[in-house]
Amino acid sequence: MAAWQEAAELADHKWDKIMGPVWSEAQQHVADELKLPDPATLCFAPNTHDFIVRLLSAIPARPTKVLATDGEFHSFRRQMTRWVESGEVVLETASPDELLKAARTGDYDLIFASHVLFNSGAIVSELNQLAALSKPEGPWVAIDGYHGFMAIETDLSQIADRVFYLSGGYKYAMAGEGACFLHSPPGYAERPAVTGWYAAFDDLALPPGDVGYAPDGRRFLGSTFDPSGLYRFNAVQEMLESEGLTTAVISEHVSALQAQFMDEHPMAGFELLNPLDGHQHARFLAFQGEKASVLHDRLADQNVVTDVRGDVLRIGFALYHDREDVERLAKIIGRVI
């Protein structure tokens, strides 16, 4: 509503508001959450795929040598597979446990890893060691925080000068679509080849033919976008702050529900890929078993929403669940499993 109202009142001048206080507020929220020393290193876009394309375009080497985990999300995997087909990329993958070893022994232009893997809930905990490999001339290290941002406490303060970090507001930040972001370290990827005119906001007075870039994270901007996601992101962040709902508080609540579920229904016939071991944990439990798809469909018939990826069933727990919800879930699974 605020996005619509200000657009109606300000017309074209709305961009002064959007790229000013709205943008700055969103940057500060993200910087506070990730312990980034400088909010200006952050840029926003409708989705993280835009950032992946622009990031790869900034690497001069062709084919680009990329190392990634073997559990990256569909969008990244699809794009990399297509670039491999076209000769743009040479891709190697490693399990989360072997990623650091492969990164240290290989010759790569980009090392890309999800902080929390979407399919198994495994957490890549060696971010500092990966960051130590990063150099402005390459390799670059990029962390996909899609299942990590506001799901687990993340402190990038010691590595913000060496790693890229991308995520968005769609899941745990509860802001919906259109509020994805990229943190880019100064001195890295200063001139993405895929670029839009918003990236030149500070250089619009340059002579024709010169391609200028903003000196901060805005160098990764594209062109005109729907700003309502930023308004939603800011509104949710303000609500969470007023209610005292930090990532740590919500994670504690979710952890208790996950432990309760495992006590009440251990999911016979399934293996829990991300056990509850007292350390940081994904907001979902990933159960592997032959009947994952069958159980998913049976639960859907009972109006229970889960997610299935091949033979892995993911059961998510969130701020809006309580102990009674977990009890109901355990009983339903007991009937249909």
Q: What pLDDT, in 10s, does the model give residues 219-247?
A: 999 999 999 999 999 999 999 999 999 99
Q: 278-300 b/e with 16+ CB inside 10 Å = b?
A: eebbbbbbbbbbeebeebbebbe
- The pLDDT assigned to 205 comes to 57
Kindly state the average pLDDT of the residues 95-106. Answer: 96
The confidence band for 201, taking pLDDT boundaries of 50, 70 and 90, is low
Q: How far apart are the first and last CA of the chain?
A: 44
Domains in the chain: boundaries: 2-241, 247-336
Q: Which two tokens stand for residue 166?
A: 């991308």
Q: Does domain 2-241 have CATH number 3.30.750.24?
A: no
CATH of domain 247-336: 3.90.1150.10
Tell me, yes or no, if the two domains 2-241 and 247-336 fold the same way: no
pLDDT digits (tens, 9 = 90+) for 42-66: 999 999 999 999 999 999 999 999 9
Rounded CA gap, 26 and 36, in Å? 13
In the beta sheet, which residues pair with residue 214? Answer: none
pLDDT of 278 > 60? The answer is yes
Considering only CA atoms, which of 17, 19, 49 is closest in space to residue 167? Answer: 49
- The pLDDT assigned to 210 comes to 81
